[in-house]
Amino acid sequence: MSNTAIRSSIFWSVVALLLTYIAYRAYALSFTIDEAMSYNYVLGIWEDDLRANDHWLNTFLMRVSKGLFGPWEWSLRLPNVLSFLLYGAAVFSMLRRVKSNVLFYAATAILLFQPTYLEFFSLARGYGLGVAFFAFGFALLVSLTDGRELSEARRSWRYMGVIAMGALVFFSYISALNVVLMLMGLAILHAIVKWKPKRKATKRVTLMWMVTFAVGSTLQAARLLLELKEDGELFIGTNTFAQWADDTFSYYFPRELNRIELLLRTATVVAAILMVIGGGVRWYRQKKVPAILGLSILIGLGSLFGWFIQHKFMGANLPQDRTTMIYFFLFATGLVGASKLVVEEERLHMAGLSTAVVLGVLSIWNAAAQFNVERTRIWPNSQKMKQAVLTADSFARHWHEPVHAERHYFFLSNLNYYFRTRSNHIVVDEKVGIQLEAELLFVHTEDFKYAFDYPDLIEQYERVATYPGDIALYVRKDVYDHAMKTGEVVIYE
């Protein structure tokens, strides 16, 4: 077997392993609050409301998948799960020309073992889709700028593909606007300045398509952002660049640090700094930068300047946690590019390879420290919502009429999703708040004890289960007693 075939086999085996993990999470995890709110758009309940939660392309694909496979967690998450394959194809495309086997495998680890991406590829949100489309567009642009020989037709299609991928990012994840503008702008600029096809008509038609599609999709994305701002929907964000940097740093690593994880964080930063310094030395001597590194720097710095303008002069919030995750890709590709630059310097070859290996191992370690098939990192309150509803339904099914539920407002969309898909015995409504009038109560325990009188609650209701995320399920005593007499009640844990 050739070296190329061995590389390909190992790479796609890693992708298959990670895809299995992603797919299992998509199957096993309870639906989160944001996913459940998107499901309201899928059903048309909120179709007249404009909310930042409506990631347009994700909602559309959820609707398609629901029509094909049903309203289950795994089917609604399937588009994001499959988008990981597109992300893998983009990464492989960028790495296949790396000469060093060691660097190839280290770069594979750096780019594939991204814990935030592994999380969102398994959820029905627009972030996984957006990262996959951006990565593929970025890979196409790398292929256009790294000196490889391409026919006029293939070059034309790749230029247009960059713009198409950028447009898809807009409608998956519009807070990535600045990054996508840089991607599109660099593709158009490169086509104008560097592309010298024999047939000038090919260039004119390609550029006309690129500019038209880029401007049209940008204007549409900007219109949506302005409307969301007017409706007060763009409230998630950080207020200073220092806060943004700290939030981004904390979001990449485990949030609860023990000594080993603190070592992981420190070692990663030190190795990255060493690689950047080595890349700088190599660039100073050679005055030439690999396409993957140059594009990462240009897109990163250009989009940061855009955020500076928007924040200082337009009052926009800076990105926060999940809205900043696209920068993890640029950081990773920048490290890979710097590694390539260092490894090609004879004097720095071994030091560069060693540092790249350390970064690859640390990337795997960081991802492994955050592997979890029971809950999501950003919405831990949702981790046992399905079990809570199944338990409630085991009581409700024995009552002589459909039962009503009162719930904390934070649980509204999650519970309604599960009432619709897992129970025919609980009434679906949009009411929130605990009034002690319904047969079932889904209480947020931290909130409840300060606002209500516990003796009244205990007198009328039986507490049957408590779940992580401060969720407590109460059943009215007459419903509870009736169900218990049947002997067919199940408490799901």
DSSP state string for 464-476: EEEETTTEEEEEE
CA distance 381 to 468: 7
Confidence (pLDDT) at 453: 52
442 sits in which H/E element: strand 440-444
Confidence (pLDDT) at 342: 75
Inter-axis angle of helices 177-194 and 152-170, to 10 degrees?
A: 160
Confidence (pLDDT) at 407: 86
pLDDT tens digit sequence for 307-335: 787 777 666 777 777 778 888 898 888 88
Pairing of strands 440-444, 471-476: antiparallel
Confidence (pLDDT) at 18: 96
Asked if 92 and 98 touch (Cβ cutoff 8 Å), the reply is no
Confidence (pLDDT) at 188: 92
Q: How far is CA 27 from the centre of its chain?
A: 17
Global pTM value? 0.91
Q: What are phi and psi of 357, to 5 degrees?
A: -65, -45
CA distance 213 to 292: 24
Amino acid making up residue 471: I
pLDDT tens digit sequence for 123-174: 998 899 999 999 999 999 999 887 777 788 888 899 999 999 999 998 888 7
Domains of the chain by residue range = 3-369, 384-486
Asked if 427 and 439 touch (Cβ cutoff 8 Å), the reply is no
| Separation of first and last alpha carbons in the chain | 49
DSSP at 255: S
Pairing of strands 471-476, 461-467: antiparallel
Q: Residue-wise over 298-325: b if at least 16 C-beta within 10 A, else e? A: bbbebbbebbeebbeeeebbbbbbbbbb
Q: Compute the residue count for the chain.
A: 493
CA distance 366 to 192: 41
Which pairs count as long-range contacts for 443-449, CB under 8 Å and 24+ apart, including other chains? 443/407, 443/408, 443/471, 443/472, 443/473, 443/474, 444/408, 444/410, 444/411, 444/470, 444/471, 444/472, 445/470, 445/471, 445/472, 446/470, 447/408, 448/408, 448/472
pLDDT (tens, 9 = 90+) of the chain, 493 residues, equals 788 888 999 999 999 999 999 999 999 998 988 888 888 888 888 766 666 566 788 989 999 999 999 999 999 999 999 999 999 999 999 998 888 888 899 899 999 999 889 999 999 988 999 999 999 999 999 998 877 777 888 888 999 999 999 999 988 887 788 889 999 999 999 889 888 888 888 888 989 999 999 899 888 887 877 776 776 666 666 778 888 777 777 777 766 656 666 666 677 767 667 666 666 666 656 667 778 888 888 888 888 888 787 777 666 777 777 778 888 898 888 888 878 777 776 676 787 778 788 888 888 988 888 888 888 888 877 888 888 889 989 988 888 889 999 888 888 888 889 989 888 888 888 888 888 888 899 888 766 554 455 677 778 888 888 888 778 889 999 998 998 888 788 888 8
DSSP state string for 385-398: HHHHHHHHHHHHTT
Residue 444 zone, left/alpha/beta (φ > 0; ψ -120 to 50; rest): beta
CA distance 416 to 36: 8
